[in-house]
Chains A and B, each alone.
Chain A
Amino acid sequence: MIWFKLAFKNLIRRKTRSTLTVAGVAIAIAVLYSLFQFQQGYQSQLKGELGALGAQVMVVPKGCPYEAATIALHGGKWPRYMDESLLDKVKANPGVAQAAGVIMDAVFAPGNKNVILLGIDEDYMKLRPAWRINGHWFDGDSSVIMGSTAAQDTGVKTGDYWVVPEKNARLHVVGVLNRTNTQDDGFVFMPRKTLQKISGLEGKLVLILVKGRQVEKTDALVASLKASEVDMNVFPLSELLGTISSLMASTKVFVSAIILIAVILGGVGVLNTVLMAVFERTREIGMMKAMGGSRGDVFKLVWAETILTTVIGGLTGVVVALVSSRLVEALIRGMIPYAPKGSLIGFSLPTLAMCVVLSLVLGLVAGFYPAFRAASVKPVEAIKAE
């Protein structure tokens, strides 16, 4: 412990320089933590969002499945539709336990807020066993159920009437969903026929969510659905997860390169600072040796100083990453076409441990040469040196 105490005291002798060096490492580790956590959070949130759909298979109109998935997950206006009659064909498949047809639209509420409208029926409700409605299910064509966030955004509660922006339709709010922590919180649900009518999309569907009778036979179900109808895209959600993940993976190389450069720059900064300190302290090091310090002792001390610098930098970096997580998340979200909702950069003990270990390794590597130089100082020459 006395080694680290002495090493720490040596560091604070040059406060500005040590602070700048720690800052260099902190920035590198903050970048590492943020990007790594973003990727981890992305995967886990995406899995959560897909799981919240309550289905194993998605049927969407012909077109880009990635785009369709984005619409399915976050809602929106997508100018591709399927004929509603496909829903009956899907339901008729013996492998299908439940199938829910969904129509979607998006409108702008006052304040330029985007409100996602979902037209559903009771089959959709069956895919959502966790739903708890503060109120009751649709009691007529003019009913609407608000997701918890949507209710907050629109400022309505159960029993109120809500006029759908841009549509001039007055609907009765029969219920508000308790918070589900899924994408459903942001949606406004109404009977499918109602939305089809007010949006002029009678007989159209945007997607069909399908729950198979046996999860392990999902591939067979997909094949069977594909064979039965050519005018739709059928894909399992696991495949969708893979597709989005592989899109993200393509950015991984780029992200890793950024992290690597940041860490190398941090390491070079540390090496430079410690090496400078060793040169400046030649006489002091000579003195330590004169007092009986061996090569190993001096090596250990300088190494301890470097490790302390990088570990403090690493921990600071994690704190910086956590504090600035919202900002970083917003920046990254702005750069990629699709990102799951919810917080992606959060506290993670394994990532923290990884950052600390990396800081430690950085210290060991960056400190090796300066420690070697310090250990090689000859006391006689050091004490003579001016």
Chain B
Amino acid sequence: MGTGEFRVQKPETRIQNGGPGAGHDRNRLGDFGSCPKPSAVLAGGLVRTYRRGTEKIQALKGIDLDVRRGEFVGVVGHSGAGKTTLLNLIGLMDRPTEGRLEVLGTDVSRRGVRLDALRRKNIGFVFQEFYLMPTLTATENVLLPTMWGAARDMTEIGSAISGRVPSRDRAKELLNLVGLGHRLTHKPSELSGGEMQRVAVARALINSPRLLLADEPTGNLDTATRDSIFSLLLALNRDSGLTVLVATHDLSLESRFSRVIRLEDGNVV
């Protein structure tokens, strides 16, 4: 897991000048030279079917997908196209009904694979709604994921529980990274929508994930804030080589992704 691989630089130097896929040649997850980068997400014939009463709904209808490590990929499509379902599967919050899905080299479509542990160690999530704990400060919200599974993992997560400085420092580092160094002790009610989403981004990064999934991260934000959050995600990809998948229905953002996966009615088009 990418412990300590995420190098903090001054936020302004990273957020500016970000172009699509600008970070690909600086992938710190491995030096692959001229070899093709390994897959972060590999899916074949991915089907997800739900039941709503007696009705059977096929949200994904056999999707093939290969997202390479370090890519900045947009999953675009209209509402109901299957974007969230796809992200949930990739984010290990759900299992496919049919098909094969490999995330960061692990076949997660197999029964018996512990998804929560894999998710905790490898995947960061950003949602349209920020889901920050209203009683916790920005720093505490960022630290929240370090609580989970600490007793089992015994990694650097444990240091958060024991109150050792590095985790809190890392939270501050990440808040600095997302431009909220001056809001460390503010509670969500004292933050703007854009600031809350930045806290959510920092929170998604606290466990040093290898894959960042963002589901409509700018859906609740105004245009200026949307651009700034988007630039932040882009900078993260560019500067750290983090694989980022963003689901959005905002077609105006398409040009900013290194690659776009277009979904329509559960199919890639």
Smallest CB separation, B134 vs chain A (Å): 6
CB pair A380–B88 under 8 Å, yes or no, is yes
CA distance A346 to B263 in the complex (A): 72
Q: Tell yes or no: A354 within 8 A of B by CB.
A: no
Q: Which residues of A contact B133 (CB under 8 A)?
A: 6, 9-10, 284
Interface 9-residue window, one of A249-257, A290-298, A355-363: A290-298
Q: Which residues of B contact A283 (CB under 8 A)?
A: 129, 131
Q: Tell yes or no: B103 within 8 A of A by CB.
A: no
CB pair A289–B93 under 8 Å, yes or no, is yes
Q: Tell yes or no: A167 within 8 A of B by CB.
A: no
Q: Which residues of B contact A288 (CB under 8 A)?
A: 144, 148
CA distance A292 to B122 in the complex (A): 9
CB pair A287–B127 under 8 Å, yes or no, is yes
Closest to A10 in B: B135
Residues of chain A from 268 to 291 with CB closer than 8 A to chain B in the complex = 283-284, 287-291
Interface size on A, residues (CB 8 A): 24
CB pair A379–B93 under 8 Å, yes or no, is yes
Residues of chain A from 287 to 327 with CB closer than 8 A to chain B in the complex = 287-295, 297
CB pair B93–A290 under 8 Å, yes or no, is yes
Residues of chain A from 1 to 23 with CB closer than 8 A to chain B in the complex = 1-3, 6, 9-10, 12-13
CB pair A292–B148 under 8 Å, yes or no, is yes
Q: Tell yes or no: A127 within 8 A of B by CB.
A: no
Tell whether A291 pairs with B127 under 8 Å between CB atoms, given A2-B160, A9-B135, A13-B135.
no
Q: Tell yes or no: B113 within 8 A of A by CB.
A: no
CA distance A284 to B133 in the complex (A): 8
Pick the most buried of B123, B127, B148, B163: most chain A CB atoms within 10 A of its CB. Answer: B148
Smallest CB separation, A119 vs chain B (Å): 72
Q: Tell yes or no: A171 within 8 A of B by CB.
A: no
CA distance A149 to B207 in the complex (A): 72
Tell whether A289 pairs with B135 under 8 Å between CB atoms, given A6-B147, A380-B88, A383-B127.
no
CB pair A290–B125 under 8 Å, yes or no, is yes
CB pair A294–B148 under 8 Å, yes or no, is yes
CB pair B148–A380 under 8 Å, yes or no, is no
Smallest CB separation, B85 vs chain A (Å): 8
Q: Which residues of A contact B123 (CB under 8 A)?
A: 292
Smallest CB separation, B129 vs chain A (Å): 8
Interface size on B, residues (CB 8 A): 30
Q: Which residues of B contact A6 (CB under 8 A)?
A: 133, 136, 144, 147
Contact with A along B121-149 (1 / 0, CB 8 A): 10101010101011110000000110111
Q: Which residues of B contact A383 (CB under 8 A)?
A: 93, 127
A294 in complex: contacting residue of B91, B117, B129, CB < 8 Å: B117
CB pair B144–A291 under 8 Å, yes or no, is yes
Q: Which residues of A contact B144 (CB under 8 A)?
A: 6, 288, 291
Q: Which residues of A contact B125 (CB under 8 A)?
A: 290-291
Q: Which residues of A contact B129 (CB under 8 A)?
A: 283
CA distance A10 to B203 in the complex (A): 19
Tell whether A292 pairs with B131 under 8 Å between CB atoms, given A2-B160, A380-B94.
no
Q: Which residues of A contact B131 (CB under 8 A)?
A: 283-284, 287
CB pair A297–B93 under 8 Å, yes or no, is no
CB pair B135–A290 under 8 Å, yes or no, is no
Q: Tell yes or no: B116 within 8 A of A by CB.
A: yes
Q: Which residues of A contact B221 (CB under 8 A)?
A: none
Q: Tell yes or no: B119 within 8 A of A by CB.
A: yes
Contact with A along B204-224 (1 / 0, CB 8 A): 100100000000000000000
CA distance A141 to B59 in the complex (A): 108
CB pair B127–A293 under 8 Å, yes or no, is no
Smallest CB separation, A298 vs chain B (Å): 9
Q: Tell yes or no: B161 within 8 A of A by CB.
A: yes
Q: Which residues of A contact B160 (CB under 8 A)?
A: 2
Q: Which residues of B contact A287 (CB under 8 A)?
A: 127, 131
Q: Which residues of B contact A13 (CB under 8 A)?
A: 134-135
B147 in complex: contacting residue of A2, A289, A380, A384, CB < 8 Å: A2
CB pair B145–A292 under 8 Å, yes or no, is yes
Residues of chain B from 84 to 132 with CB closer than 8 A to chain A in the complex = 84, 88, 91, 93-94, 116-117, 119-121, 123, 125, 127, 129, 131
Contact with B along A67-104 (1 / 0, CB 8 A): 00000000000000000000000000000000000000
Q: List 17 A-B contacts (CB under 8 A).
A: A9-B133, A9-B136, A10-B133, A12-B135, A13-B134, A283-B129, A287-B127, A288-B148, A290-B125, A290-B127, A291-B120, A291-B144, A292-B116, A292-B119, A292-B121, A297-B149, A379-B93
Known contacts A288-B148, A291-B125, A292-B148, then 7 further A-B pairs from the complex at CB < 8 Å, ordered by chain A residue: A287-B131, A290-B91, A290-B93, A291-B148, A294-B116, A297-B149, A383-B127
The 10 nearest A-B residue pairs measured at CB? A292-B120, A9-B135, A287-B131, A291-B145, A293-B148, A294-B116, A292-B148, A379-B93, A380-B94, A297-B148
**B residues adjacent to A (C-beta < 8 A):** 84, 88, 91, 93-94, 116-117, 119-121, 123, 125, 127, 129, 131, 133-136, 144-145, 147-149, 160-161, 163, 203-204, 207
